[in-house]
Copies of this chain bind each other. A is one copy, B any other.
Amino acid sequence: MAKLNGFSLPLSPEGKANLLPAPPWHYSGDMLVVEYRTNPDAVIALLPDELEPADDPGAVSIIFADWQSCTDGGRELLDPYHSQYKEAMVFVGAKHQGKPVCRCVYIWVDKDFAMLRGWVQGFPKKHGDVWMTRPVTVGKAGPRLAPGGSFGGTLSVGGRRLAEARVTLTGLSANGPTVNAPPLYNSRHFPSWDSLQPAVYELVNVSGVDKEVSPIWEGTAELALFDSPFEELNALEPQEMLGGYYHSFGYTLHGGKVIEQHKL
């Protein structure tokens, strides 16, 4: 690789063309979080053999996020097509060798660089159209970050609505969300070209540094999931709502750790 440069394809002489430059990757985003319980069997059916069910095995977190991200130097920030994206992510709990972990089982995003960056971390990203209400500080066209403020989140894929969430704030939260609690254990997976067995399939830990969190607002939550012939999201339909949250979050990723190879 003397002549060709880049952290990802396309490799190129100057290394400028790669879809995904090397870490560190810096993230700052706003999160609309809905936590609820579904049928535990539906969560357990999404765990690989190496993971056991969580103590609260039906707990699910769906997060709508509006992100900015950049590499060192931050040149993407001034050409914001290359730094901004929205996504909807579904987390569940599990255990690895008896220790609690969380795991992203589904995630949809609206930019290509974020999709590949997700695959590198074991986030199973597909393209989706994500919208979430923004809090405002002036005017009448938006909720305030204050009791009574109502926030909506929607996810659609291919012109089909998959999820609609609503959170109405009640006050500042003492503890914040609980389902999506580190450590995060995702599964990296990349198909082979000469076999139906994957070329890469490994359990990994994704762990950021320099984390910053804004004050966290909490409230009541509603969630509706819809069917699609190309998805299985609505197998996780809500049975009991746990709550909703709105907050901002920043962190940095420097790469991570492979925990073990998945048995095939």
Of the listed stretches A55-63, A92-100, A172-180, A254-262, chain B binds A254-262
Establish whether residues A45 and B13, one from each chain, have CB atoms under 8 Å apart when the complex forms. Answer: yes
Given that A26-B140, A189-B8 are known contacts, is A82 also in contact with B230, CB under 8 Å in the complex? yes
Smallest CB-CB separation from A188: which chain B residue?
B193
Given that A70-B141, A193-B255, A230-B16 are known contacts, is A158 also in contact with B27, CB under 8 Å in the complex? no
The complex places the Cα of A256 from the Cα of B75 at a distance, in Å, of 39
Q: Which residues of B contact A164 (CB under 8 A)?
A: 79
Establish whether residues A134 and B68, one from each chain, have CB atoms under 8 Å apart when the complex forms. Answer: yes
Q: Which residues of B contact A7 (CB under 8 A)?
A: 191, 196
Give A76-96 as 1s and 0s: 1 = Cβ < 8 Å from B's Cβ atoms.
Answer: 011111111000000000000
Q: Which residues of B contact A156 (CB under 8 A)?
A: 156, 158-160
Q: How far is the CB of A172 from chain B (nearest CB, A)?
A: 15
Q: How many copies does the complex hold?
A: 4
The complex places the Cα of A147 from the Cα of B264 at a distance, in Å, of 45
Smallest CB-CB separation from A10: which chain B residue?
B124
Give A186-204 as 1s and 0s: 1 = Cβ < 8 Å from B's Cβ atoms.
Answer: 0111110111100111101
Establish whether residues A194 and B126, one from each chain, have CB atoms under 8 Å apart when the complex forms. Answer: no
Smallest CB-CB separation from A109: which chain B residue?
B112
Given that A17-B232, A106-B17, A134-B84 are known contacts, is A141 also in contact with B196, CB under 8 Å in the complex? no
Q: Which residues of A contact B (CB under 8 A)?
A: 1-4, 7-14, 16-17, 19-20, 22, 26-29, 45-49, 67-70, 74-75, 77-84, 105-107, 111-112, 115, 119-122, 124-127, 129, 131-134, 136-143, 150-156, 158-161, 164, 166, 187-191, 193-196, 199-202, 204, 210, 212-214, 229-233, 235, 248-252, 255-258, 262-264
